Amino acid sequence: MQYMLMFYQPAAEFEQRDDASSQAYRASWIAYADAVRAAGISLGGHGLFPPMTGTTLRVRGDKRQVQDGPFADTKEQLGGYFVVDVPDLDAALEWAARAPCAASGGVEVRPVFTATAIAAPTP
């Protein structure tokens, strides 16, 4: 089964990224990403620039509305993602629990649409 692990982080954590005193915090993310790759389950993933660098576009009627910032104004924002191929949801949750932001923000785990996932009967 393929799952997307979406890493949601509180605003303060985005500021920690380039704060000199947060070397350990950055190292923990690098170590986590390396562990995911070393386990041979990664189908790719990226870290994202902070939410305020985002731009949201909506088309309403024939008008394009372009706005600065993230789509939803929530306390926790998407900071990155991984797509992993693991046997089941329990294994995906185990990897989600290892993400450094699991304790401060949260990780959303969602199955990825694949040909096999669609063909699989729902249990």
Partner 1 sequence: MNAPAAHQAAERAARESYGRLLAILSARTHDIAASEDALAEAFARALERWPADGIPAQPDAWLLSVARHRKLDAWRHSRVQDDATQTLLLLAGEVDNAAGTEGAAVPDERLRLMFVCAHPAIDAAARAPLMLQTVLGLDAARMAGAFLTAPSTLGQRLVRAKARIRAAGIPFEYPQARELPQRLQDVLDGIYAAYGTGWDDVDGADALPRGLTAEAIDLGRILCSLMPNEPEPLGLLALMLFCESRAAARRSETGAYVPLDQQDPLRWNPDLLAEAERCLRRASEMKALGPYQLEAAIQSAHCERRVGAPVPPEVLVSLYEGLLALRPSIGAQVSLACALANARGPDIGLRALEAIPAAEVASYQPFWAARAHLLAAGGARAAARQAYDRAIGLSSNAAVRAYLNAMSERL
Residues in 4-43 that interact with partner 1 by CB under 8 A = 24, 27-28, 30-36, 38-40
Selected from 97, 112, 117, 120, the binder of partner 1 by CB under 8 A is: 97
Report the distance separating Cα 25 and Cα 17, nearest Å.
8
Selected from 14, 71, 93, 108, the binder of partner 1 by CB under 8 A is: 93
Selected from 17, 50, 71, 98, the binder of partner 1 by CB under 8 A is: 98
Distances (CA, A) of 36 to 12, 41, 85, 94: 25, 6, 10, 11
- The burial class, CB within 10 Å (0-12 / 13-18 / 19+), for 99 is buried
Q: Which stretch binds partner 1 (CB under 8 A): 7-15, 47-55, 63-71, 89-97?
A: 89-97
Selected from 12, 94, 112, 120, the binder of partner 1 by CB under 8 A is: 94
Report the distance separating Cα 40 and Cα 32, nearest Å.
13
Helix (H) or strand (E) holding 63: strand 63-68
Q: Could you list the residues that contact partner 1 (CB under 8 A)?
A: 24, 27-28, 30-36, 38-40, 89-90, 93-94, 97-98, 100, 102-103
